[in-house]
Structure 1
Amino acid sequence: MMSKDKKTVLTLDAGGTNFVFSAICDNEEIVEPVRLKAVTTDTEGCLATLVQGFTTVKEQLKEEPVAISFAFPGPADYEHGVIGDLPNFPSFRGGVPLGPYLENVFGIPVFINNDGNLFAYGEALAGALPRVNKALEEAGGKRRYKNMVGVTLGTGFGCGVVIDQVLLTGDNGCGGDTWCTRNGMYPFVIAEESVSIRAVRRVYAEMSHEDASQLTPKDICDIADGKRPGNVKAAKESFRQLGQVTAAALVNVLNIVDGIVVIGGGVAGAAHHILPGMMEEFARPVGTFSGHLMPTLQSEVYNFEDPEQRAAFLEDKDTYVKVPHTNKEVLYCSQRKVAIMVSELGASKAINLGAYNFALKKIEG
């Protein structure tokens, strides 16, 4: 359940270009965000920028904040607040205890996590998961979902898992990581090489024989939609392949987590071109040595953004069956269903809400 606590938490959206500082109370942003240029190559400069940003936000507050909580891109020792060797932040090479440093400066707990994790947590508490359950309730359905896989598609392939309101972090802080899983198209390459902005550009350039280095995902999406000159077939295929490899990675995740999937991030604006590739991969059968074919997933996946598939997902076909030799009946959920949907919150808001609620959960125990 999303916290309704009136405590205030300082937050940060840490990108490779800008640091955007803010504060949240009762799940609402309560200050004008402070935007500062990211410092990625100088440790002291980066630390000074972080202190400046949080200090400026804190000065806008009427109440003292109870914590600082934010996402930092890439692998790190989040439990101990140590940021290590990140490609986009060479200033942290060798390991910098960023969390303890900020705790010493501001005198309050500091929580740092992966952006994919906090995206999933925010969506599970305040976004896609409540949206699905509300739709099921309004449709008269008996089911309610508790588990969520959140995927961010952008510079890289982010992912987080929430199981019954508990964020899966893992013993090594790697819970939910899918970016380094095997690529469904190129088995000896990591999935992120086909699930990222650079992947969209690469496929478009290979198929169109054009220079795509200056094209954004929106540019390529506009080409696919016929709104901008370019190779329409190559543009559509670049997103279809991204969807295919995303789903190939998620198949194994869903067979373990068994829940709703939500996608967000900078590339999610092209979801209408990505989702068909994902659904195609989810429907791909696998076989046994005897030649028997079976679905890759035990549950059927529905595209929640498609009206017909959404209606089929919401349709309640669960029945009651009689207990032998008694007058009792029990519910029989004969269909296994999961849905894939696009974030309505947007990645930035979902991450901030995830950071806020994660901090309060840690403080409250």
Structure 2
Amino acid sequence: MKNILEDERIVMTLDAGGTNFVFSALQAGVEIIEPITLPSHSEDLEYCLKTIISGFKQVETVLEHRIPDAISFAFPGPADYKQGVIGDLINLPSFRGGVALGPMLEEIFGIPTLINNDGDLFAYGEAVAGFLPFLNRHLEGAGLSRRFKNLIGVTLGTGFGGGIVVNNQICLGDNSAAGEIWLTRNFLKPETIAEESVSIRAIQRVYAEKSGKPTNHTPLEIYQIASGIIEGDKQAAVAAFEEMAVAIAESLANAVALLDAPIVIGGGIAGASKFIIPKIIEHLSGSIHDLSGKAIPRSISSVYDVDDKDELKAFITNSQHEVIIPFSTKKVIYNKEKRIAIGTSKLGTSAAVCLGAYALALDYLDKTNHYEVAINKEMN
């Protein structure tokens, strides 16, 4: 895929919230108009859809002679994202029974329309312009040949979101249901989903339990208490983030075992990474046991916090060795130590989602054009 930050094609975007819709347009990965904000009217489907149409028409008007090539944006699920059909939504209550939002926009505007969820697009944005380029630049700078092409992205906020990139491509799954990490089993409360321990409400609940007092503190205030910035039960505040980190870690341990990929963390609660990431690494560096009691490493790979300068330096230290091919004088490279990086978003969560949507549209346009060229060649 081309460098999206050098691509001149224009993609119209939408930031869809339950209260407001914010419309914009990107070119070369940069916003090229002043965003247009309209109330979502989420309680009335017809009004809501007409608002979406109006917003994109206003963007076209502002673009003047510049012609958009596609529409691409994040929208809440459940949905059949491949078909552009939105299912029953909590924060947009008028969407019920399947609304063909993507096909509607394609028919009206005459350009491809890509819709996905914010967890997937966050991971993709970090893969094409954030966390993976960050890792690979450091590897290149250290003179190493290896490059990372896979990524697990998680967002920590109102809920526990996720997205997966495999071989530099967003993984949508066969049913538009990939990356649903919130639904993994909760390591701390096995009868519940992981999100019950990985969310804003979880931070508040655990702080209240550990401090012995009801709380109306926000996660930011609990973070400030943990950091000694404001008064409160510091021990309870630290415990709230560390307990959440253990639940995150076990979900990630299962994901890493299957995908063998670096991990990037975004969302508002990622701001407390100094309490979260060390605990995740501690858990991933621990053991699990077979029935005989034999200890097995919880993660096959060593995990490095690449937000820490010393850890980053250790991560990019050369672990490659040359080994002789048996019955030959030739040698091959052997990566003796398996390594996984973990760190926070390099773009910011909102920017990563936006760039992920932009990159998804460009990738679709490139593939469609390649397919059309191949068909034309066959016909001629």
TM-score, shorter chain, exceeding 0.5: yes
Structure 1 residue runs of 5 or longer lacking an equivalent are none
Alpha-carbon offset, residue 360 of structure 1:
1.6
Query: CA separation in 1, counterparts of 2:8 and 2:160?
Result: 33
Q: Does 1:221 align with 2:223?
A: yes
Structure 2 length normalisation: TM-score?
Answer: 0.92
Q: Superposition pairs for residues 339-358 of structure 1, below 5 Å?
A: 339-358=341-360
Q: Secondary structure at the match of 2:268?
A: coil
Q: Does 1:158 align with 2:161?
A: yes
Indicate if the aligned counterparts of 2:72 and 2:113 stay in contact, CA closer than 8 A.
yes
Structure 1 length normalisation: TM-score?
Answer: 0.95
Alpha-carbon offset, residue 91 of structure 1:
1.1
Indicate if the aligned counterparts of 2:126 and 2:346 stay in contact, CA closer than 8 A.
no
Call closer, same or farther: CA 1:343–1:328 in 2, change over 3 Å.
Answer: same
The superposition leaves residues 239-275 of structure 1 with CA deviations (integer Å, 9 ceiling, x where unpaired) of 1122111111111111111111101111111111111
The superposition leaves residues 151-199 of structure 1 with CA deviations (integer Å, 9 ceiling, x where unpaired) of 1111111111111111110110011211111011111101111111111
The superposition leaves residues 96-126 of structure 1 with CA deviations (integer Å, 9 ceiling, x where unpaired) of 1111222233222211101111111111000
Q: Which residue of structure 1 aligns with residue 232 of structure 2?
A: 230
Q: Secondary structure at the match of 1:44?
A: helix
One-letter code aligned to 2:108: V
Query: CA separation in 2, counterparts of 1:60 and 1:210?
Result: 53
232-241 or 161-170, which moves further after superposition? 232-241
Q: Superposition pairs for residues 1-365 of structure 1, below 5 Å?
A: 1=1, 2-3=3-4, 4-61=6-63, 62-213=65-216, 215-365=217-367
Call closer, same or farther: CA 1:252–1:219 in 2, change over 3 Å.
Answer: same
Indicate if the aligned counterparts of 1:242 and 1:277 stay in contact, CA closer than 8 A.
no
The superposition leaves residues 9-65 of structure 1 with CA deviations (integer Å, 9 ceiling, x where unpaired) of 011122234322111111111111122333332212321322232222222214111
Indicate if the aligned counterparts of 1:5 and 1:26 stay in contact, CA closer than 8 A.
yes
Query: CA separation in 1, counterparts of 2:58 and 2:220?
Result: 33
Query: CA separation in 2, counterparts of 1:38 and 1:200?
Result: 30
The superposition leaves residues 117-147 of structure 1 with CA deviations (integer Å, 9 ceiling, x where unpaired) of 1111111000000000101111222321111
Structure 1 residue ranges, 4+ long, deviating more than 4 angstroms after superposition: none
Query: CA separation in 2, counterparts of 1:212 and 1:51?
Result: 42
One-letter code aligned to 2:243: Q
Structure 2 residue runs of 5 or longer lacking an equivalent are 368-380
Q: Please tell me the root mean square deviation across aligned C-alpha atoms, in Å.
A: 1.5
Q: Secondary structure at the match of 2:82?
A: helix
Query: CA separation in 2, counterparts of 1:245 and 1:360?
Result: 36
Indicate if the aligned counterparts of 1:142 and 1:316 stay in contact, CA closer than 8 A.
no
One-letter code aligned to 1:152: T
One-letter code aligned to 2:304: Y
178-187 or 73-82, which moves further after superposition? 73-82
The superposition leaves residues 252-301 of structure 1 with CA deviations (integer Å, 9 ceiling, x where unpaired) of 11111111110111111111111122112212200112221011111111
80-89 or 15-24, which moves further after superposition? 15-24
Alpha-carbon offset, residue 318 of structure 1:
1.1
Query: CA separation in 2, counterparts of 1:237 and 1:106?
Result: 51
353-362 or 133-142, which moves further after superposition? 133-142
What is the total number of aligned residue pairs between the two structures? Answer: 364
